[in-house]
Structures are given as structure tokens and as C-alpha cells.
Amino acid sequence: MLDEVEPVKAIMLDLVVQRILKETEDVVRIELAREDGEPLPVYQAGAHITLQLPSGLLRQYSLCRLPTSGKSFEIAVLREPQSRGGSAELHRLKEGDVLQCKFPQNHFLLTNPRSPALLMAAGIGVTPLIPMAQTLHKTGTNFCLHYSVKSSAKAPFYQMLKDSPFADKVQFHFTDTERRADIRALLEQHKDKRDIYVCGPQAFIDTVLEQAASLGWPETKLHREYFSGSRSPEMDNAPLDAFQVKVASTGEMIDVDQGVTITEALEANGIDVPVSCEEGWCGTCMTGLIEGVADHRDTFLSNDERASGQLIMPCCSRARSECLVLDL
């Protein structure tokens, strides 16, 4: 959940809420279009957009279908009681409301649309996988989509997937019945060690990745996208409460005090690093690490990328060494 990341573009589009559909009791599907009706930027399966909400919050949402007319974006939003306010705001929207939107980005690309794939979703995590299924179906590629959710009534896009031209490739696993998914058994069916794309709650993703790794899947074939950041076991007892970062291009040394993020410390010193989620799952702020040991607290980087010691997500991660030299 990995591809090279570019900073979020500064260009903002004004988008009007064209249609709001109730997918389930807790999920709404929102269609957005330009006020002038002109085409929107194109995107590929796995892409997301960044919306500026009426409160000013920036939040990212996966685009849940491939472009059709090219004149609208479609997202699905789960009402999250424990969220930081974004989902509640979007659930209060009305048709005709206007939001600002940054260009689509994609950190969750299909590595090869003609390579067999295993799509694994839980709950609202199905949204970026639907365009992947559409793409794979169009290319005639072998794939299957396993969708874990509490019940059919709680499953966003349930009827759409049942009626889709690739319905025979979709398997529903309802957690409130005996049809709960046996992750290991599902993986064992694929001796070809095909690419796995997984999205959903962290516990679900971690289970899929751990089981795949234990069955011999190479890290390069494991692709994930989290919808929220994770907490490192060291989150409440970090190796260093305070440390310094060095800006490689200027040599400037900046103190990062306890309770202050690296990006906040940089911003206070006039150095802007684009951020969006502020929890380490979107990839927007990914920065090169030249020297030092990071205390990774993101969910975006793969295990191999963390082990390389060359990248850091400064919006949430901290330090295990006295100084981090950043490629800025």
C-alpha cells in the first residue's frame, strides 16, 4: 500500500457534489464533477483524491470506479465515530455543495494489469480494489476478489458487485456467519504466488501479509493500502523524545522537541514538506533519509523500504539516533 511518490500538486479544482447515494446505513457514495462540466484529470485503478473539506481539513479518498465519461469522480465514505471529523463532514454534504480537490495521485498501482492478481478487501477497503477488478476484467486477466464484511447489508457495493460482468470472480465472506474468510486457506490455493493487493483495517491487512510471507510470497508481490495510520510499539516510549534533523542542502540543524513532529519543526523554520493524512499512510510527505536511524511509525513503507534506511515519513515517524539527515 509501492510506487514513487510525487508531492501533492498545488492545483485545486472546484468540484460540485452532483449526486449522493446511500450504499449502506453507514456508507455514502458521492459523485463529484466540475461546475463547468469540463473533463477531469484521468487516473488509473488504485488512485485517490485529496479533498479540502468545509472545515479546511484535507482528507484522501480512493476513487471507487474507473472513469466512464471522464467528467466525474466517485468516492465512498464510511461514517467513522472515532475519526478526526472528516467522515462526519462528508456525511453532512448536500447535492450542490462545492469542495476543493487536488489532482488524483496513485500509490497503489497495479504493477502489471495483465498479471494474475489476488484482490483482498475488508469493509470500506473494497473501494480501491473495484477499479482494479474492472481493469483486470477488461484485459482478460485471471484474478479473484475476496471481500470480507460483516453482512450483505453492511457491504458497500454489494449489489453492484453481484451484478458486475466479473461477478464470478467475486467471493463474499460474511463475518457474522460461517462464511468467514480463512485467509491462509485462500492463499494456499494460489501456488503461482501471484500479486496480492489488500486494503482494509490494519489487523486484516497485517493478517494477509503475515500469512502470505509465511507461505513464501516475495515482498515485491505484496501490495497494500491502509486507511489509517498505525501505532508503533514504541509510540508511547520512543527511543528519543527529542532529536535534531539536518537539512542536507543547507546544513541547517533543526531541533525536534517532544510532542512536535518533524514536519511541524521544519515548517516552523520555513521549510515546507507537503503533507496530507498526517498519520503516515498516504505517502505524500515521503522524504529521503541520508543519515541516521528512523523510528518508523507509518504504514506506507514496505518492510524492505524501511530496512533500506533511505526513506522516512516525517509527518509521524521519529528518530532512534541523535540526528537525521534529510534529503531536502
Instruction: Tell me what the pLDDT averaged over the chain comes to.
Output: 86
Please give the Cα distance from 293 to 324 (Å, whole number).
7
| Residue 150: burial class (beta carbons within 10 Å; 0-12, 13-18, 19+) | middle
* Residue range 142-164: mean pLDDT, rounded: 94
Instruction: Provide the pLDDT for residue 6.
Output: 39
Among candidate residues 24, 39, 40, the one with its CA nearest the CA of residue 126: 24
Instruction: Provide the pLDDT for residue 88.
Output: 85
Q: How many CA atoms lie within 13 A of 327 on its CB side?
A: 12
Instruction: Provide the pLDDT for residue 9.
Output: 40
Pairing verdict, β 143-149 and 170-174: parallel
pLDDT digits (tens, 9 = 90+) for 169-218: 999 999 877 677 899 999 999 999 999 999 998 889 989 999 999 999 99
Please give the Cα distance from 112 to 274 (Å, whole number).
29
Considering only residues 177 and 14, tell me which one the structure prediction assigns the higher pLDDT: 14
* Residue range 252-259: mean pLDDT, rounded: 88
Domain covering 12-105: architecture: Beta Barrel (2.40)
Please name the residue that has the C-alpha cell 505517502: 283
Among candidate residues 145, 161, 130, the one with its CA nearest the CA of residue 46: 130
Instruction: Provide the pLDDT for residue 228.
Output: 54
Q: Which fold has domain 117-226?
A: Rossmann fold (3.40.50)
Q: Which fold has domain 243-326?
A: Ubiquitin-like (UB roll) (3.10.20)
For the chain, give every domain's residue range: 12-105, 117-226, 243-326
Instruction: Provide the pLDDT for residue 1.
Output: 34
Q: Residue 245: what residue type?
A: V
Q: Model confidence at 82, in pLDDT bands (50, 70, 90)? A: low
pLDDT digits (tens, 9 = 90+) for 213-242: 999 999 889 998 876 544 433 333 345 778
Q: Does residue 266 sit in helix, strand or coil? A: helix
